[in-house]
Amino acid sequence: MDASHLKEVCAEVAHIAGQAAAFIRSQVGQVVADQVESKERNSLVSYVDKKAEEILVNALTPLVPSPGFITEEDTVTNNHSEFTWIIDPLDGTTNFLQQIPIFSVSVALIHHHEAVLGCVVDIMQDETYTAWRGGGAWCNGKPIHVSQTSELSEAIIATGFPYHKPGALVSLVDVFQGFLARARGIRRLGSAALDLTYVACGKMDGFYETTLNAWDVAAGTILVREAGGIVSDFEGKGEFVSKQAIVASNALLHDTMLAILSEGAVIKE
């Protein structure tokens, strides 16, 4: 699939993701307590997540031949194919349920295990971010780029913390203190897809987190790369999905971020 074809498919994906985002936006403040399920500690899901995923799966299926799907809410059987859609229908469910306006729709297309297209909708900001292999990164049709911040002392760094692996918290706190002492500021938004997207457009200068899944990061990583940034695991390699440890930056700060992560000896298992 060449860049021209990817651009056309990306436009379709942006429209579909926008439909899912519009549905989610219409449900803000409408979900009651008995409509919320707990998948695991502090991991919540409602009919909104599931319905948004159904919208995405049904509309994305005809865009590429015989696609596989990797989805968070399992509304379709998860399987890999030559073309595989990776979907997070509502990244930031807790924020959504609390009416904190930081949540997103995230869709990526994988071809032979390589991300070739990504779309993240910042739902409450009505901003649609898109990228495709070789086509750059865009927000509402305008090109975006990573920041030019070269000193960590001037950087805003985003992160998150795993709820279900308390054994990792001690080392993660050490890392957090390392960034807190050296960066201009730290932010914890509650949507990894938006963390990566904000690195891509220069709102953030870097991001790191552990125990994320493919649907959390697949779209955001191609946005960062097409916007001129770098994405890796904590050792600087490309195994951030299998290791569930990701660091993204504007490229200028990447080595510095890796050094701080190394100092903290973050527990990855």
Local mean pLDDT, 10-residue blocks, the chain (269 residues)? 90 98 94 69 72 96 95 81 95 93 97 94 98 97 98 96 67 88 96 98 97 94 98 93 92 96 61
Which uninterrupted H or E stretch holds 130?
strand 127-132
**The pLDDT of residue 268:** 43
**The pLDDT of residue 147:** 98
Residues with Cβ within 8 Å of residue 123, at least 6 apart in sequence = 21, 24, 25, 101, 103, 104, 105
**The pLDDT of residue 39:** 60
pTM: 0.92
**The pLDDT of residue 218:** 96
